[in-house]
Structure formats: structure tokens, C-alpha cells
Structure 1
């Protein structure tokens, strides 16, 4: 089991609370649970008992003040292992970058229920489902997550995405000073953390999102609809069609979900599922040996998980016309993928196109990924430092592109 080292001097837990409500909100019709009140003591009513099975009643109707009130884990102070009930760990082929933090993901589907498979979208999860993601900062980014059993990490926050009757609701819990529990911070905030990356110390102002920021990233507006809803991002077939080590042994994640009775409708032949290839930081050193086709697969997969939740016809950046879903064929839709595409909402002197094939210096995509300046940084949310390895991948891909020269703007 991973050891968590809680050095308050290094962690510098200094939650900078803004005046904006955080990560709440609901589903269809743009409705939200803003009227629901979080508990104010430890704890009352449905949130009061921290012992026993999963507190399904609280999950479905209460914004508890403390994470432990939901009883999701056997050890309330360790949200990275031993989920209660039908909780199942999951991981993605290529993860979304969040300032080099480790992430521990679990899905909890209510007893007697199951999610329904979809080809391109997030699975159709039943009401009562909760997706749990814990962020922790490793002492060294070379040793992250479950692959670094002997390393120390510092818990930062645990986010719940709960499917309630009115839609999905996001609740951010920040770990307290003694790391015995996490407390609901509806206004978001900033947690200063320190890590080492490639031998260099990084001092990071890790940002816990507020409500509007949660809605911005998780916004989904179905085709033909005038309203948007909150939707999960990660649990898609193309990101879960991979093997994962469970207590029972290594197994394909989709197969494991089926065996646990929490997913139905999956194709019998998993090889027919278009799958985002794995790309992790350690793979950056191998980019020089990749073919052009391999670079395209890796880069479009990376852009899918990091960008497509906004850059898609149903997302908050639909007006840009830049669509990043992995399944879009770059040969069929080069403009939508950014090639020789003029931006519609962003202007920077001397950089007229989102992507100039073969030319990273004149590609807006690469410039914004390399920036941490407000107004230029992309993604706009979720990071405060440059993802060097992601930038290396996208740069190598742009260099490899061989298409006609972009016309003069």
C-alpha cells in the first residue's frame, strides 16, 4: 500500500477561498442543486453516521460537509484503496494532465443497476452512481500513482461526481490539516504544493475548481437541445479498453466491469472498439522512434482526453469549430482538427492558424500549450504549469504532418 507523507510545511495547505460557489449544479434544463445546504457539523441527519455500508441516501440527496459521511472507502482517510460496496477502481489509457498530480479513480454503481455502453460518449450511468477521483502530489513525478508503491504522496482533494435525479452534481472535497478527512469547499481554492520533476523542484499553486469552472469543462449540450448539462469526461470505451491490475489479477477494464455487473451492452469483440493508445510521461523519450501514423494516434489521443470535453460540437468550445474527439478522421476533417484552420475566438499576431503542418513555431495549438499566461494558456483550466511531455508529443506530431502549405490568411 502506498505511504502518504503529510508534511504540512511542504504541503503549505492554504486554501484560498473565493466567493463563487463550486462544482455544484445539475443536469438537464441547466438546473442545479444550489438550494441544497451542506451540513455544518460533524455530522447531522443523513450525513451523521460514518460507520457502515455506503451511505446511498446521502449520495442521492445531501451535500455532506465531510467526505467520510458517504462511507465510500473502508478507511475514510485513504481514498485510494479498498472501496466499499460495488466500488471498482478504473484508469484511463492516456490520462488528463493535472499539474503532475497522481489520480485515483473509482466508480460506484448502485446495487441492482448497471451502466449502458455507448460507442463514443460517456456510458449511460444510472441515478445513484458516483464517480470518485482523488488527486495527490507525489514527492517526485517519476513515481506516481499505483506504480510507485514505496513513494510518498500528499493528498490534495477528492472530487465526487454524483448522478442525482436532476442530473450530475460535482462536489470538491479538500483534505484537512491532519489529513484524517476531506471537507467540502464549494468555493474552490488554491493549495500550494511542492514536487520534483526531472530533478527540478516545482512549486505549484494547485487549483481546486469552483462551480462555474466545473460546468465549463463538464458541459454537454446534446444535438438539437437548447440547454446544457453536466456530464462526466473519462469513463468512455475508448479510454477504458485496456488491462488493469486488480486484486484478482490483470484483466481488461471493460471485461471487469461486465463481470462485476456494472456495465451492459459492450461489444463481444473488444478489438472492434477504437481505443486511445497509452501515452504517459515516460513515453516522451521514445517519440523519435515513432512513425508518422503512430504520432498521429498518440497525439490525437492525448488531445482527446485533454481537450475534447470542450472542443466538440456539444462542448463549451463548440463555437471554435476545432473538434478534438479521437474518432474524427483527420484525413476527412482536417479543418475541424485544426490543420490550416483560422481561429474564430483567439487572435495572436503572427500566428494565423491553429495548426500549421510541419511548423510548430507558427501553430497556435503548440503556442498555447507552452504558455501559462492567462488568456493564452490552453487548456484554460486544470493546469498551472506546462506539461513538458504532452507538449513534446504534440510538437513531434505537428512536425510530422505532411500536407499542402496553408494559404495566406
Structure 2
């Protein structure tokens, strides 16, 4: 696709097992600013593209655009059965696709997850893109190095990719803690961080120290889901931990709350194993 740069992330948002194709586009002569926390600030006119596929069939394409006034807005497109075109949706939509329920979010719902506190562009940050990608020309290279060589950053990256933070892949070879913390970062921290709309004091960003996450042996802020003695995270006891319970849940108690109808069983197992391995709070 002319003008679109492909990218991938280390720890993706769970989307009911869908495969994803991701692209970004920045206007000519414009650059991305990398903040001290590794978040990327895109210039006006930028477009982020993500297409969701189930069993190799395109289902939805989402555009996230920064308009000339600086405001971000999301748009969902529904692919036709012939895979020849996608139609812009006016609002949310739920339909059966490949034997499962697929939810298309409304424009307002896009901003419920793409929060101001998280910088709007979820996934577009140094620790997420610090990985190799196989490009359409057949070459493989670190994405940060490629984008830096293209002059995409206004002040550089602040170091070589090897020296920069990197999220762990949930299904990779990292420690249970690193994989769990990466999952919580990409699936929960957009709301559960300082200034976020999640409420409470929990800070689930990967860069936050365990003690400063404010979850260990802490009572839940939004109900106990019927769990006796519930804690946000109970060391050694995933069955008493709200973090685990909300990942297991479907319906009203589920987190993340939008656009998912299936439990991410593999990641739940990783998070439960991490919680079970803990013996005390710091």
C-alpha cells in the first residue's frame, strides 16, 4: 500500500484471536515526537490503520485519524463477503462471523479505550515496536531502526534499540512476570494509569514498579465479583485476585469491557501462573 508503513507490536490487544494487519502514515514533512516515557505523539494528518482477519478473511478495518485541529477520531469499516470493499459504519454493529460474535465499535467507543491519559495511539510506543519485522520486500529489520533511518522521529529515539525498553510477547520466552506485565500494559493500562478513566489507584503500565502498581493485597475499587476476601492481586492466590477474575469473566464484569466475547485463555494462564508464584507483597 503506497504511503502506508507496516508495523507490528510485541504485546497485542486481545481481539478474540483475530489476526491483525497494522499500518501507519504520517504527512510528508512531518515527524513523530517520542516522549520521555516512550509514548509517540503523531502530527496532525496522521492515520493509523488496523485490519482484523478471522481465519484469513478480512472482517473489519479501523482507521484512527488525527484531524487538522489535533483531535483524534476512530472509524470502523465492515468488509463485504466478496472481500472487495469495506463500508464505513455510522455506529456500532454486532454480527456473526466465522461462527463467532464480532463487535464493531462506534466512534465514541473508540475513544473509551484510546484515552487521553494513554496518548490516544495505543500500541504506538517504543517498547511495543522494539522488535523485528519482515517487510514486504522480504527483508527483516528492527522496526525502530527502520523508522529512525527514514527520519520519522523529530528528536531520535534516545538510544539504540538494544538499549531501549521492550515489552515481552505474551506467548514468548520471557518470564511469567514480564509476560503478565506486558499483557496488563497493552490490555488494561490505557485506562488503569494516573489520569486514566479506570478509577482507583491501580497503575498497570509496564514501566511502573510492582510496588507502585498499587494492586498487591489491595481491596477492589469496583466490587468483589462475589469473591470472598477479594484483592486486586492476592499473592499466591489467583482465585482471590480481581485481576484474574476480570480476565476470566464474560459480560458485565469483563475487562477490557469492549469488543470481546472470548476469554484469552493462554494469557489468563500466564497471569495466573505469575500471581501463583508470588509469596508476598513488596
TM-score over 0.5 for the alignment?
yes
Output the CA distance in 2 between the equivalents of 1:191 and 1:329: 41
Output the CA distance in 1 between the equivalents of 2:147 and 2:195: 27
Distance 1:394 1:221, change over 3 A: closer
Output the CA distance in 1 between the equivalents of 2:74 and 2:109: 11
Aligned residue number for residue 399 of structure 1: 276
Q: Secondary structure at the match of 1:393?
A: helix
Q: Secondary structure at the match of 1:190?
A: strand
Aligned residue number for residue 225 of structure 2: 348
Query: Quick one: which of 93, 97, 112 aligns to 1:193?
Result: 97
Aligned residue number for residue 365 of structure 1: 243
Larger CA Rg, structure 1 vs 2: 1
Trace 1:187-266 onto structure 2 (pairs within 5 A): 187-194=91-98, 203-221=99-117, 231-246=120-135, 247=137, 249-264=139-154, 265-266=156-157
**Residue 103 of structure 1: how far off its partner (Å):** 0.5
Output the CA distance in 2 between the equivalents of 1:366 and 1:244: 31
Aligned residue number for residue 136 of structure 1: 53
**Residue 121 of structure 1: how far off its partner (Å):** 4.9
The runs of at least 4 aligned residues of structure 1 exceeding 3 Å deviation read none
Output the CA distance in 1 between the equivalents of 2:240 and 2:76: 38
TM-score for both structures, normalised by structure 1: 0.65
The number of equivalent residue pairs is 278
**Residue 314 of structure 1: how far off its partner (Å):** 2.7
Aligned residue number for residue 205 of structure 2: 325
Output the CA distance in 2 between the equivalents of 1:157 and 1:122: 26
* Alignment check: 8 A CA contact 1:276 1:301 kept: yes
Q: Secondary structure at the match of 1:361?
A: helix
Aligned residue number for residue 63 of structure 2: 160
Trace 1:160-179 onto structure 2 (pairs within 5 A): 160-166=63-69, 167-179=71-83
Aligned residue number for residue 272 of structure 1: 163
In the alignment, structure 1 residue 84 sits paired with structure 2 residue 2? yes
Output the CA distance in 2 between the equivalents of 1:180 and 1:351: 53
Output the CA distance in 2 between the equivalents of 1:308 and 1:249: 33
* Contiguous gaps of at least 5 residues in structure 2: none
**Residue 351 of structure 1: how far off its partner (Å):** 4.3
Deviations 1:338-369 (A, max 9, x none): 11111112233314211101001111111111
* Contiguous gaps of at least 5 residues in structure 1: 1-82, 139-152, 195-202, 223-229
Trace 1:300-339 onto structure 2 (pairs within 5 A): 300-317=181-198, 319-330=199-210, 332-334=211-213, 336=214, 338-339=215-216
* Alignment check: 8 A CA contact 2:38 2:127 kept: no
Instruction: Say which is worse superposed, 265-274 or 123-132, in terms of deviation.
Output: 265-274
**Residue 127 of structure 1: how far off its partner (Å):** 0.9
Instruction: Say which is worse superposed, 208-217 or 266-275, in terms of deviation.
Output: 266-275
Aligned residue number for residue 384 of structure 1: 261
* Alignment check: 8 A CA contact 2:224 2:242 kept: no
Query: Quick one: which of 13, 17, 25 aligns to 1:96?
Result: 13
In the alignment, structure 1 residue 182 sits paired with structure 2 residue 86? yes
**Residue 220 of structure 1: how far off its partner (Å):** 1.1
Output the CA distance in 2 between the equivalents of 1:137 and 1:271: 34
